[in-house]
Amino acid sequence: MNRPLHIHILGICGTFMGGLALIARQLGYQVSGSDQHVYPPMSTQLEEQGIVLLEGYKAENLNPKPDLVVIGNAMTRGNEEVEAVLNLGLKYISGPQWLAEHVLQDKWVLAVAGTHGKTTTTSMLSWILEYQGFKPGFLIGGIPLNFGISARLGESDFFVIEADEYDTAFFDKRSKFVHYRPRTAILNNLEFDHADIFENLDAIKRQFHHLVRTIPSEGLIIAPSAESNISDVLAMGCWTPVQKTAIETPAQWCAQLISSDGSQFKVLFEGVEQGTVHWSLTGQHNVYNALSAIAAARHVGILAADAITALQHFQNVKRRMEVLAKIGKVTVYDDFAHHPTAIKLTLDGLRKQVGSERIIAIVEPRSNTMRMGVHTQTLAESLAQADVAIIYQPDNMGWDLSQLTQYAHNIQICSSIAAIVAQLKAASVEGGHFVLMSNGSFGGIYTQLLAELESL
């Protein structure tokens, strides 16, 4: 009996590579992988699927030799395991290319691109298709609560993918999304990000236009009418029909807010009301996400009214304003926001929901762009809706976060997780909303804080 082909994945606990590992396992491959930082929820998800996880990058992880090594974009030359792959002459490939060749080749791909909202919108669209019985495949940069898993092969011709503009691999510097060849594409927004790989905004626009060049003339592009940077990309050349979205202004897809926090809104298509969304999500950014998902679902044959019904049952994504606990007078949230715009939109949505109740935002500036100090004034201004904003400054931060305090008076800088937890414990007496914002493990603050609050 032939053994299954063995795929070994470098950087397996990243959201994309972890999802790819799940799909490879569903295709029948033997899957293993290594990563420097193995932590939930991805590690738990992978182990539950019978995938072997190895801590650290070592040459011995490649023994016995795998049939193929899939290399994540966080891997660099000089990494011990990368060097071993090259020196042993092992067959290797990037994650996006492997996905394109082994999964997406014969699928109707629905891709969601943009600086913000990719994970949530991809989850919404996947759920709409699922609710209508389409059983789509998907790969999402987070774990949607409706599915409890970040990726699957699916049972239909449809595959929904979060289309990231970050580069593909150390040997392929194109954006990941260039590999996906979507028929339906959502372009949520476009801002400067990933300062470690993009020189300026124009460099990102060029990559987005490479994506636009791959979308067929019988496909569909969906984008907000107010996003001038997306308009600039389309002005470079577009061969595909475009449908625009807007809130309270004329557009092919328009939302009319019933609640200012975005928890209720009417959906209009070409001026005709399609239904009303009532859901637990807040923020105008999520209204835009919903309009895009409804429009994309219509492109594959789902009526807007049916998509709206599906969204009434949408449960969002882990770490997207996920309520971790309600203890005494305090509600603790976990949010993935790591760019000033995302932080601002999230806090604006929460402020509209809770009114004058106290909000404390606790931020770990962990992304490469944040750590480079590219966002200073914009980060400070993004926290305006918080009564108090506590920013964590670890020892290895590349710049002095105290610069933020010249732009806002509600900001405090703290260099210790223990000190942050102690401050929040003291503040809990007055109650309020504690929003933990990080795209990583935040030094284990989650369990420490909840334990301290429970002890009161």
Instruction: Assess whether 21 and 138 both reside in one domain.
Output: no
Instruction: Assess whether 111 and 55 both reside in one domain.
Output: no
Instruction: Assess whether 185 and 285 both reside in one domain.
Output: yes
Q: Measured in whole angstroms, how far is the alpha carbon of residue 167 from the centre of its chain?
A: 15
CATH number at residue 133: 3.40.1190.10
Instruction: Assess whether 253 and 230 both reside in one domain.
Output: yes
- Report if pTM > 0.85: no
The pLDDT value recorded for residue 331 is 95
CA distance 259 to 247: 12
Instruction: Assess whether 242 and 346 both reside in one domain.
Output: no
CA distance 244 to 265: 17
DSSP reduced 3-state for 416: coil
Q: Which of 291, 311, 331 corresponds to the end of one domain?
A: 311
Q: Residue 1 domain-assigned?
A: no
Instruction: Find the helix or strand (DSSP H, E) in which 121 lies.
Output: helix 118-131
The pLDDT value recorded for residue 69 is 98
The pLDDT value recorded for residue 440 is 76
Instruction: Assess whether 78 and 137 both reside in one domain.
Output: no
Q: Tell me how far CA of residue 76 lies from CA of 44, 104, 168, 220, in angstroms.
A: 26, 26, 12, 36
Q: Which of 247, 277, 311 corresponds to the end of one domain?
A: 311
Q: Tell me how far CA of residue 361 lies from CA of 280, 348, 377, 410, 437, in angstroms.
A: 20, 12, 17, 10, 7
Task: Compute how many other C-beta atoms are within 10 angstroms of the C-beta atom of residue 265.
Answer: 24
The pLDDT value recorded for residue 22 is 93
Number of structural domains (the chain) is 3
Q: Residue 169 domain-assigned?
A: yes
Q: Is 89 exposed, middle or buried (0-12, 13-18, 19+ CB in 10 A)?
A: exposed
Instruction: Assess whether 268 and 367 both reside in one domain.
Output: no
Q: Which of 272, 290, 311 corresponds to the end of one domain?
A: 311
Instruction: Assess whether 84 and 119 both reside in one domain.
Output: no
CA distance 30 to 50: 9
Q: Residue 423 domain-assigned?
A: yes
DSSP 8-39: EEETTTSHHHHHHHHHHHHTT-EEEEEES---
The pLDDT value recorded for residue 253 is 98
Residue closest to 444 by CA, chosen among 344, 349, 354, 334: 334
CATH number at residue 372: 3.90.190.20
CA distance 332 to 56: 32
Instruction: Assess whether 140 and 65 both reside in one domain.
Output: no
Instruction: Assess whether 251 and 368 both reside in one domain.
Output: no
Q: Residue 292 domain-assigned?
A: yes
Q: Residue 100 domain-assigned?
A: no
The pLDDT value recorded for residue 196 is 65
User: Consecutive 10-residue runs of the chain (456 residues): their mean pLDDT?
Assistant: 84 91 94 86 82 94 96 95 98 97 96 90 97 96 88 96 92 94 94 68 91 97 94 96 96 95 95 95 91 98 97 85 90 84 86 92 74 67 92 77 83 90 93 90 88 88
Instruction: Assess whether 285 and 337 both reside in one domain.
Output: no
CATH number at residue 48: 3.40.50.720
Parent domain of 339: 322-454
Q: Residue 317 domain-assigned?
A: no
Q: Measured in whole angstroms, how far is the alpha carbon of residue 243 from the centre of its chain?
A: 23
Q: Measured in whole angstroms, how far is the alpha carbon of residue 93 from the centre of its chain?
A: 23
Instruction: Assess whether 297 and 330 both reside in one domain.
Output: no
Where do runs of H (alpha helix) occur along 236-384? Answer: 284-299, 304-311, 340-354, 368-371, 377-382
Tell how strand 272-278 and strand 264-269 pair up: antiparallel
The pLDDT value recorded for residue 1 is 45
